[in-house]
Amino acid sequence: MKVVILAGGLGTRLSEETEVRPKPMVEIGGRPMLWHLLKLYSHQGFNEFCIALGYKGEFIKHYFLDYRALSSNLTVSVTDGRTRVHDDAPHDDWTVHLVDTGVETNTGGRVKRLAPLLRDGTFMLTYGDGVADVDLGKVLAFHRAHGKLATITAVRPPSRFGGLVFEGDQVREFQEKPQIGEGWINGGFMVLEPGVLDYLAGDATSLEADGLDALAREGQLMAYRHDAFWQCMDTLREVRVLQKLWADGQAPWKVWP
């Protein structure tokens, strides 16, 4: 089953990082967010990826072109430049389709441009800027059980403010930005049937405002509720939250060994 990752947006709210690289290449623990997503999916049995490129897509192409060499031990002949890669370490078993979908293309348009790769069966889709400890097998089983065209994973984002727990007028506990839920939102980690592609028109189509909204009106959109960890990476503060979790060895999305 193919996994689509939307990786072409401008990332304007994270301009401190995205002036020089695309948002999915912002690093958490010395690895791009994109790497974290591929590890999350592949550990759960999904190893074929279609990455929708746009803004600074060449960075992502170079990353995967060099991935095997940079993950291995090398012997380089300085005289003639020949390089030998030593396969003495296990490698990630990934197939990665890197597809230019346009710098200005909207989210639905990016998916539509991938249609030739997606017409052959059910596929997954997520955004290149958010992680979760979601059980993808359960999301897929839920999708297959209801028989509709589309499933999103609904999440409740962490509160933007700390919470106070009172005992009378005394503050008994201060909760540091608890995930109390400001309402359910689409957290990505979707499962879609090829019929969804018929709801997407040209490059200006929004996956959310056009595609998913139309599917909802027709009763073809279902939500798998994930009430555990989920975190997007829209701001520098959120990058730092993810970096601290990783550095402290407390990254809930790290489901691989």
**All structural domains of the chain with their residue ranges:** 2-153+183-247
Q: Are 5 and 52 in contact (CB under 8 A)?
A: yes
What is the per-residue pLDDT across 77-126, written as a single tens digit (0 to 9) for each?
999 989 888 876 677 999 999 999 999 999 999 999 999 999 999 999 99
Scanning the structure block, which residue is given the tokens 């403010």? 161
Angstrom distances, CA of residue 255 to CA of 26, 123, 142, 163: 20, 21, 20, 28
Using CA atoms, how far residue 166 sits from 41, 149, 159, in Å, is 41, 46, 18
pTM, to two decimals: 0.90
**Out of 3.40.50.300, 1.10.10.60, 3.40.1190.20, 3.90.550.10, which CATH number does the structure's domain 2-153+183-247 have?**
3.90.550.10
For residue 204, pLDDT beyond 90: yes
| pLDDT at residue 150 is higher than 60 | yes
